[in-house]
Amino acid sequence: MTGAFSTVERFVTDLPAQVWTTDTDLRITYTHESSSQTLGLHEGDVLGVTSRECFLGDPPGANAIDAMRRALIGERTAFRTAWEGRSFYARVEPLRDENDHIVGTVGAALDVTEDVAERAVDGGSLLETAQTLVHLGTWSADLRTGAAIVSREFERIAGRQFAHPTTEAIVEAIHEDDRAAFLAAYESAKSDGTRYDVQHRVVRPDGSIREVRAQGAFSIEGGQAKAVIGTWLDVTDQMKLDRVLSRMTYHDQLTGLPNDTLLRDRLTRAIARARRNQTQLAIMSFELDRFADVSDTLGPTIADRLLIEVGERLGETIRPTDTVARRGGEQFTLLLPDLQEPSQATAFLRRLRDRLREPFHAPLRDLLVTASVGIALYPWDGEDGETLLRSASSALHRSIESGPDGFRYFSDSMHAAVIDRLTLDQDLRLAVDANAFTLYYQPIVDFASGEAVGCEALLRWPRPGDAVPAGQFVARAEQNGLIDSLGEFAMRTAFAQINNLTSDLKRAVHLGVNVSARQFLDPNFVGRVKLMLEESAVDPRSVELELTESALLKDLEATRTTLRELRGLGVGIAIDDFGTGYNSLYYLKSLPVTTLKIDLCFVADIGSDPNSEAIILSVIALAHRLGLRVVAEGVETDAQHKFLREAGCDAFQGFCFSPAIPLADCRALFTGARSPGV
């Protein structure tokens, strides 16, 4: 494929390295030459030629061919060699396909001639020459005086001469980000009388960096460390080659994305983490629709450019912890770890498809690209990597069979649930744009007088053909971000309608309005409430904002500040569903609330669960001691009504008096034109 090795070429351009690959017959399939002096592999001459014909001479050829043979059985080999007066450090390892099968070898040889020559000048003693050849510098120090001795090779690695070497000067040459780790290993070995072995970077005065493996041991006398001898092994060349080979082994050579080998490794780790943390993950396997048409009509160069840009867009869409891999052809796979619920995968899929649908700019025309997607979820569709990948692939094939630009979950039940959720989200967005919601009001009744004294505003969605329960669409709105628009609509509408009702009745009507956690945490929330109060002209003293315990506990200090500001506007604060949280009594004493609303789960157990009755009695007594009003929710039977009245509850709402009703019926109820319980 045209440009198939472009990423590798970009990666090794600045290295004096020769990179090559072979098939299982050791025939050269690719070579990249980035220096004028190489092992003699020139692409135009050697492609398809056997390695034995290319690597002439002994021992260089024998070393390389032996290393390639070892790679075919899964081994990695490193060796030093010489070629036509040049010195090289070389590595060879297996080349694997997307199924982790060995399909050839990949090798790289780094030209280190200049380094060797530099180190050979004025080589001095045989020991110094030997140190030069193996890139090993030595140093020693008297720990009582701090004075040190360093070898010539040590100074070459450090890129400086130590006129008066000391341990402090040696440590100063270590990269500041690595210094703490070195000192920790050094001090630990010093106190234990053991050896240290640590890898770190050395910063030369000109700013260049060398990678070294540092080892050392201490001389102990009378239980005290008296001296130290250490070595620096320069592994910079090896590290450069390791990065090149790692790039070729674990990344797609066209897009630079992780390949199948790296994907499988990360998937194994993600599954282990999900099992340990009891989280979920998703595998999305997707294929570009009609990609062959692009290649056939516009040519392989444009097709490659399209694949590269798809990879770039995917990289922009994913989280830092996600992985997008190219597994060959026009197929990509995404790993989404650390999910709390499947809907997170659906939300990501929506963003991904929107991004892909943006035009791709090509010569002469723009390309519109879609993809078919198959999705598998851990742990439902597989508990190991191989099973999950197979499930995602199966789902992809079913998606392709259904037509372009589609997606399919492996599980039929999950797929149906996701389709329902996506349909609900779409309809919900359209309904918000069209202001297709309305408010119903459930009367709040005073126990002492038996009369309705207020009402709670409740959102209703008269969805064409199928009304959606409020609990269902409100929960979805909280998840997809539409709750801000819905909440503001409910508050603005309720304020205006209750103000009009109050004016008509010539009496106060208490209003309760629900506030979501997301609304409450908005820094501009208090300002919005103030503006809506002013616009509606409603009396703030008749308004009570209802918040759940979970909303109040997200940031207790910020909650106190916001509640004080709201109380400063004159509105009341009710804690909704009181008793279902786990810190109720702790925060109740410090928050400026006015009302507690007993959750219907306790009310429903009246007459059948003494524990629930005891909790209700305790809540009422506690609230009254704190000067708070108590309202019971979900009162449906005479027995519940009787128990709550005798317990001293202030007010109630529920079907035993009236369900939530339209504003017109609510008006009739307050004027006596409509009887309760209808």
> What is the reported pLDDT for 495?
95
Query: Distance between alpha carbon 593 and the CA centroid of its chain, in Å?
Result: 38
Greatest alpha-carbon pair distance for the chain in Å reads 114
CATH architecture assigned to 6-112 = 2-Layer Sandwich (3.30)
For the structural domain made of 431-671, what CATH number should be given? 3.20.20.450
In CATH, 136-234 is 3.90.198.10: no
Q: Where are the domains of the chain?
A: 6-112, 136-234, 251-410, 431-671
Beta bridge partners of 486: none
Establish how many alpha carbons lie within 13 A of residue 353's alpha carbon, considering only the half-sphere containing its beta carbon: 18
**pLDDT tens, position by position, 100-158:** 788 888 887 777 665 544 444 444 444 555 555 567 888 988 888 878 888 888 999 99
What is the Cα–Cα distance from 149 to 141, expressed in whole angstroms? Answer: 6
SS (H, E, C) 177-202: HHHHHHHHHHHHHHHHCCCEEEEEEE
What amino acid occupies position 597? K
Those residues of the chain that have pLDDT short of 50 are 1-15, 34-37, 43, 57-59, 116-126, 582-583, 678
Q: Do the domains spanning 136-234 and 431-671 agree at the CATH topology level?
A: no
For the structural domain made of 251-410, what CATH number should be given? 3.30.70.270
Tell me which residue of 164, 156, 162, 110 sits closest to 129, measured CA to CA: 156
What is the Cα–Cα distance from 536 to 544, expressed in whole angstroms? Answer: 15
> What is the reported pLDDT for 63?
77
**pLDDT tens, position by position, 618-640:** 999 989 999 999 999 999 999 99
What is the Cα–Cα distance from 474 to 223, expressed in whole angstroms? Answer: 72
